[in-house]
Amino acid sequence: MQRCGTVAVVDLSGKVVVITGGARGLGAAAAQAVVDGGGRVLITDVLEAEGAETAAKLGEAARFVRHDVTSESDWQAALEYALAEFGRLDGLVNNAGISTGQFLEQESVEHFRQVVEINLVGVFIGMKTAIPLLRTNGGGSIVNISSAAGLTGLALTAGYGASKWGVRGLSKIGAVELAESRIRVNSVHPGMTLTPMTAPVGIRSGEGNYPGAPMGRVGSPEEIAAAVAFLLSDAAGYMTGAELAVDGGWTAGLTVKYLTGQ
């Protein structure tokens, strides 16, 4: 593993990866990591202008297509486009998602369903659509982006937390069912990370700005993307069904400062 600036570079030479929600934030950082590692990437998103701009910045190794992850026909079209442009599929990163911040009793049924539809059903459709293509290619890697909220109970995340626990479970099922086809399925569980989705919460980067995590800071998209790239690579060839927490220790336990008030 080499380093490019502050981003770890993993060898992904020759691999073709589809990344949903890749227009910005974590998805864009993951796309950058794939290209830096020598791979090619199809970015998909509903944010057309931002997605096209991100792909353009990455150059000839990247493409963009508009894609609603809740639509089976959109999934089929996106993966067919990846094959047409790059000739193969080696990896899928199910990153697209939305967040929520409501107490359970205040969450509307409509919003709960919307969050689950995008965050969980979208992952299911993506896996289902990609499996035959990966199998034809002799195997590959599926990386599903869950959350630290998919490892523990987190208040104010009724729809989000439930969907991310679902992604965690679906990843386990996929890992068990697809191992014989040499398709690995793992989940990544980011902690609080500074992205356009989390920016409205008012979080700040830098040391000491997130005392709830033992490391005392929020993560960067590049730090999460490095873990994603590793799971896409052959270096993780014996990893499937794993839950990789990239959360600054947040799910490990309460900090000394929190317990002592110091």
Q: Report the pLDDT value the prediction gives residue 256, as an integer from 0 to 100.
A: 67
Q: What share of the chain is helix, strand, coil (3-state, %, to 5)?
A: 45, 20, 35
Q: One of 160, 210, 238, 258 is an active-site residue; which one?
A: 160
Q: Is 138 helix (H, G, I), strand (E, B) or coil?
A: coil
Residue ranges of domains in the chain: 10-260
- Active site annotation includes 81: no
8 Å CB contact between 119 and 163:
yes
Per-residue pLDDT tens over the stretch 177-201: 999 999 999 999 998 776 666 555 6
10 Å Cβ neighbour count for 25? 21
10 Å Cβ neighbour count for 255? 16
Q: Which long-range contacts (CB under 8 A, 24 or more apart) does 251-260 make?
A: 251/148, 251/151, 251/152, 251/189, 251/191, 252/214, 253/214, 255/211, 255/212, 255/213, 255/214, 255/216, 257/211, 258/211, 258/212
Pick the closest to residue 93 from 46, 127, 24, 144 (CA basis): 144
Q: Report the pLDDT value the prediction gives residue 213, as an integer from 0 to 100.
A: 76
8 Å CB contact between 190 and 26:
yes
Q: At what angle do helices 221-232 and 25-36 cross, to 10 degrees?
A: 50
Q: Report the pLDDT value the prediction gives residue 101, as an integer from 0 to 100.
A: 75
Does pLDDT of 3 surpass 50? no
Q: Report the pLDDT value the prediction gives residue 100, as an integer from 0 to 100.
A: 74
Which ranges constitute the DSSP H helices of the chain?
25-36, 48-58, 72-86, 109-116, 122-136, 158-178, 221-232, 256-260
Whole-angstrom distance, CA of residue 8 vs CA of residue 213: 22
The topology (CATH level 3) of 10-260 is Rossmann fold (3.40.50)
Does pLDDT of 250 surpass 70? yes
**% of residues, the chain, pLDDT over 90:** 75
Q: For the whole model, what pTM was predicted? A: 0.91
Q: Report the pLDDT value the prediction gives residue 253, as an integer from 0 to 100.
A: 81
